Structure 1
Amino acid sequence: MCNNLITPKVASPDMNVICFDLEGPLSPQDNAYEVASLVPNGDAIFETLSRYDDLLALAGRHNYEPGDTLALIVPFLLAHGISEDDITRVSSHARIVGGAKDLIARLLSHGWDVHIISTSYEQHAHRIGAALGVKRDHIACTKFEIEKLREKLTEDDITRIRSLEEAILSTNDEDVMFQKLDDFYFDELKNTALGDVFSQVRVVGGARKVAALEAIAAASSKTPRELIAIGDSITDSAMLGCVRDAGGTAIAFNGNEYAVPYANIGLAGTDIGLVWEFAEAHARGDPIELARTFEHEYRDDPRVDCLVGADADKIEAVIDTHKRFRKIVRGDAAKLG
């Protein structure tokens, strides 16, 4: 079962610990986006909800976390009969990022405690984790009991959801659309049989990723200072910032404008394998020094940037480079926050 609120097994305090985001650093597929695309016009609906998600997260809406798009999309998946088998089938087409499988194998063979902390639905996170050799009890992800939720849906609920769907596709003014979404998710939906979707589907993003990381650290008698965290998007910014601010190693891999400013090392490219060098440096206690050295050696694919003390111009230049590789590696998913 997916560790939605992770209670990891106690690990040896002598083990080094590394925590990966899944979608981006390990697999390029945005599984929820691909699943939503099974619905007619689902890609357009998901992209609107993703922008709405960014707005809510950046505004600091109470009890809302980046990545809760995976909760926002649930009513539409239910209304269109999307099943657990559909999620698994879409996941089966997901690729692994270049170098990821060898990297994980190398880390595990050298005694590293490898974890995945992901917004992904459990059906996808567990499949990718298995392909990489990461055990289920080392994966914190989003529990999604889609068949149980479907049982709650009434015909009136489906009519209401379809009406909102039509509004999303026909409304050009995003301010007007976002107000309709506010009314639906924070008022109307709570009065349906489905109820509060945010309590039904607790997405592991933002502060919930930090909570998972802190639980992993505590189980190893460590603090975030002693961990490596790797992420690429708005759902990872709090986790990266937590580790960076504690003095740990926070790596943005093909990160966007929400992730890069919270990392102390930037790694861009089509292959994630160079993380091994930073893992060894982290174990020695000099990952930032290595980043400063690699910044002169790796300027193409991969490209390394030391982000400690970086000014706004450097951050902007790094983001531009990361976005270019993000598009190469992730395709359409690169445009999502």
Structure 2
Amino acid sequence: MPGEFDPAEELGLFPDRIFVCNCRGFITKNNYLRDLCARFIRNGAHFFDVLVRYDELTAYVLGREEATAGNFVKWVVPFLKANGATDHLIDRFGMEDMQLMPGATMAVRYIASQMPSFINTSLYEHGMMRVSEQLDTPLCESFCTKMEVDNVQFSRAESRKLREMAETISALRIPKVEYELNVPMEVDAADVKIIRTMDDIIQEQIPGLNAMSLMESVVPVTSHKKAYQLLDIRRQTNIDLDSTFYIGSDNTDFQSLDLVRDAGGVSVAFNGTDFAVRGSTIAILSKDSTVGAVFAEQFFNRGIEAVLDLARNWDRKYLKEAEFPDRNLVDAMLAAHPRKLPEVYIVDRKNVDEIAAKSAEYRKKTLGA
């Protein structure tokens, strides 16, 4: 955090590389917001899935100018409040529900000790506070969604109306059709129904309620916001994107991953979605986060070519015999994977479809919905 004692700076050794990451897939395991909806809203998990589907359709399939991936973070809030959620209950839920990835605490602490580190996440403040407490990494600065549900009051009639809307949303069917990024496709009939229903609720029904004030008070970390925040970190640190190591996993990380990759930095899709992989330099599939620290350490000490060289030679024999700046870190990663190493792939135009599909499937098995 700003103002914290940094021994490197005290010695006049100013950093020339930075680390930025998302939460889910690398730091946290469970889908916090989906679990939150399941806790407070009837059939809340499916309700959340429909909102995410609508978000992806408008941002990536329809390509609406006003759409930005991640808006579902603010759309959810009025429905949570209408179903009894308060800031206190959401905060307590974070204490009980937040699950960190194995090795995440060690990995983040290690990386933060090497270079300036930032967490750029869509998590609500309530959840991010719990993550920060568990990581206990004061030198790692975080950016998250600002939200307070207690600031706006709903009448009983309005709460009832929002609950009815939630039931309408939960009744919508999500088709199994998958759309490719930037590839024109006909929209499935079930998705057309989702779009029309959600357009009516978000654009016509909610604006006439106090729920609109609550929704607009939320400052969500969407895909655009993550990218803007990344550029702001670049400005604050005076470290360019070609000296940035970015770990992302969600659809909302695509733009940031793509920016870093195109600038010549390292963008890693860690247990990433299909879209996240399409913006990455490297894809990593792992149940333990220590491997992320291994690659970040290579980047910090030796640069992008060393990272790519490590990815090309990714096998147990090489990892045991090669020289590394921190042998203990590599040994810890090997110990965490005694039978099978994490899967590591350099992503290019030829293999991106295959790797994206493989990562999305692995993510579903490892992290859940």
1:47 is matched with: 49
- Mapped to 2, the partners of 1:176 and 1:120 lie a distance apart of 28
Cα offset for 1:120?
0.5
- TM-score, normalised to structure 1's length? 0.87
Q: Is 1:103 matched with 2:120?
A: no
Cα distance change, pair 197–64 in 1 and its aligned pair in 2 (3 A): farther
Q: Distance in 2 between matches of 1:136 and 1:142?
A: 20
Cα distance, 1:233 vs. partner?
1.5
Name the stretch that deviates more: 202-211 or 157-166. Answer: 157-166
Distance 1:25 1:258 in 2: 16
**Structure-1 residue corresponding to 2:182:** none
**Pairwise mapping of residues 39-118 of structure 1 onto structure 2 (< 5 A)?**
39-58=41-60, 59-92=62-95, 93-110=97-114, 112-118=115-121
Q: Which runs of 5+ in 2 are unaligned?
A: 174-189, 317-339
Bigger shift: residues 239-248 or 194-203 = 194-203
Per-residue CA distance 1:153-212 (angstroms, 9 max, x = gap) = 233422331232232233444422321210121222112223256532121020100111
Q: Report which stretch shifted further, 112-121 or 293-302.
A: 293-302
Q: Deviations over 1:13-72 (max 9, x none)?
A: 525311110122100121111110012111111111111111121133334321211111
Question: Residue 119 of structure 1 corresponds to which residue in structure 2?
Answer: 122
Please name the residue that 2:288 is paired with.
Answer: 271
Shift in alpha-carbon separation, 1:144–1:155, aligned structure 2, 3 A: same
C-alpha distance 183-248 of structure 1, shift in aligned 2 (>3 A): same
In terms of Rg, which structure is larger? 2
Q: Distance in 2 between matches of 1:21 and 1:55?
A: 22
Question: 2:24 matched to which residue of 1?
Answer: 23
Pick from 322, 327, 344 the counterpart of residue 304 of structure 1. 344
Q: Where in structure 2 are the equivalents of 1:151-300 lying within 5 Å?
A: 151=153, 153-172=154-173, 173-195=190-212, 199-298=216-315, 300=340
Given the superposition, is the C-alpha separation of residues 136 and 48 from structure 1 closer, same or farther in structure 2, using an over 3 Å criterion?
Answer: farther
SS at match of 1:259: helix
- The residue identity in structure 2 corresponding to 1:267 is I
**Contact 2:149-2:214 within 8 A present in 1 as well:** no
TM-score (norm 2): 0.79
Alpha carbons 2:70, 2:122 under 8 Å: kept:
yes
- Which moved further from structure 2: 174-183 or 37-46? 174-183
Contact kept in structure 2, 1:292 and 1:306, CA below 8 Å? no
Stretch deviating more after TM superposition (251-260 or 89-98): 89-98
Q: What is the aligned residue count?
A: 320
Q: Equivalents in 2 of 1:207, 1:109: separation in Å?
A: 29
**Residues 274, 61 of structure 1: CA spacing in aligned structure 2 closer, same or farther, 3 A cutoff?**
same
Task: Give 1:8 deviation, angstroms.
Answer: 6.8
CA contact (8 A) 1:189 1:196 kept: no
Identity %: 23
Query: Partners of 1:166 and 1:107 in 2: how far apart?
Result: 44
Corresponding residue for residue 325 of structure 1: 362
Which deviates more from structure 2 when the two are superposed, residues 175-184 or residues 122-131?
A: 175-184
Name the residue aligned to 1:4: none
**2 CA distance for matches of 1:291 and 1:298?**
14
Seen in structure 2, the aligned counterparts of structure 1 residues 79 and 184 have a Cα distance that, compared at 3 Å, is same
Q: Deviations over 1:84-117 (max 9, x none)?
A: 233223322322112211112212333x211100
Moved more, 194-203 or 214-223: 194-203
Q: Distance in 2 between matches of 1:96 and 1:137?
A: 16
Within 1, Cα distance between the matches of 2:90 and 2:76?
Answer: 13
Match of 1:3 in 2: none
Q: Taking structure 1 as reference, are residues 237 and 9 closer, same or farther at Cα in structure 2, changes over 3 Å only?
A: farther
> 2:245 touches 2:265 (CA, 8 Å); kept in 1?
yes
The AA in structure 1 aligned to 2:45 is D
CA 1:323/1:301 → structure 2, altered by over 3 Å: closer, same or farther? Answer: farther
| Partner AA of 1:57 in structure 2 | A
1:148 to 151, 156, 162: 151
